Amino acid sequence: MMNVCFQCGMYHADKLIDPSGPFAVCPECGYKHPFRQLPLLVVSGASGSGKTTVCQSLLGQVIQAVLLDSDILWRSEFNAPDTKYREFFETWLRVCKNISQSGRPVVLFGAGVGAPENIEGCIERRYFSKVHYLALVCSDEDLSERLRKRPVWRGTRESAFIDEQVRFNRWFKSFDGQPTIRLIDTTGVVSKQTTLQVADWIDEIVRLS
């Protein structure tokens, strides 16, 4: 557990980062904890863009990184829009940080994690060399049709939900801030082709890190 100092035992997520090691420096006693500062890869997009399909297709195929779906940790306690769901994102970065100490970076699939403003300001962000963002997008028509075809229990057929996801999909396509978000358009494309594109993106980043 990297946030607990091995020397004084105090808990700090906000350790100072000394890039010469790199080391995570305890603000209490100055102990320098050597760690692996690997990149974090994020695959995002609106609901219906193809994230889950790609993640499932890549499991067992991509072995140079650890693939995780951010939905697996969601619970009601994280539903705090007044804080912009900050604790949910901090928790995921903490999990990814500790997993990456095994020597393999994490590829995190999820919707909200794909907005840089939700990640870059987090305390735990400092433990990654860089966060690489990729979003799956498609036409409004394709997205709406996919959501309407889902099982009723998922609650994605309501007009309000579809409109919200269409707006989110458009946000990714119009985003021009920093860090940049790489886009893959899945409109009219079979899932296998999208999966290969995402796999190539992961391989390129891991090889260069």
Q: Convert the pLDDT of each residue in 141-186 to its tens digit.
A: 999 999 999 888 888 899 999 999 999 999 999 999 999 999 999 9
Containing H/E element for 182?
strand 181-185
Rounded distance between C-alpha atoms, residue 176 and residue 199, angstroms:
24
Q: What is the pTM of this model?
A: 0.95
Residues 6+ apart with CB under 8 A from 201: 41, 134, 182, 184
Rounded distance between C-alpha atoms, residue 172 and residue 75, angstroms:
25
- Residues 159 and 61 grouped into a single domain: yes
DSSP 50: S
Residue in 59, 45, 57 with CA at minimum distance from that of residue 190: 57
Rounded distance between C-alpha atoms, residue 51 and residue 45, angstroms:
7
**For residue 187, what are its two tokens?**
């409109």
Containing H/E element for 181?
strand 181-185
Please give the share of the chain, as a percent, with pLDDT higher than 70: 100
- Residues 145 and 52 grouped into a single domain: yes
Rounded distance between C-alpha atoms, residue 14 and residue 26, angstroms:
8
- Residues 85 and 27 grouped into a single domain: no
CA 13 to chain centre: 19
**Strand, coil or helix: what is 177?**
coil
- Residues 107 and 60 grouped into a single domain: yes
- Residues 6 and 55 grouped into a single domain: no
| pLDDT per position as a tens digit, 48-77 | 999 999 999 999 999 999 999 999 999 999
pLDDT of residue 1: 76
Helix residue spans in 41-158 (DSSP H): 51-58, 86-100, 116-119, 140-148
- Residues 57 and 118 grouped into a single domain: yes
For residue 137, give the amino acid letter.
V
Domain of residue 88 covers 36-208
Structural domain count of the chain:
2
- Residues 128 and 25 grouped into a single domain: no
User: Pairing relation of β-strands 32-34 and 23-25?
Assistant: antiparallel
Rounded distance between C-alpha atoms, residue 7 and residue 23, angstroms:
14
CATH number for position 147:
3.40.50.300
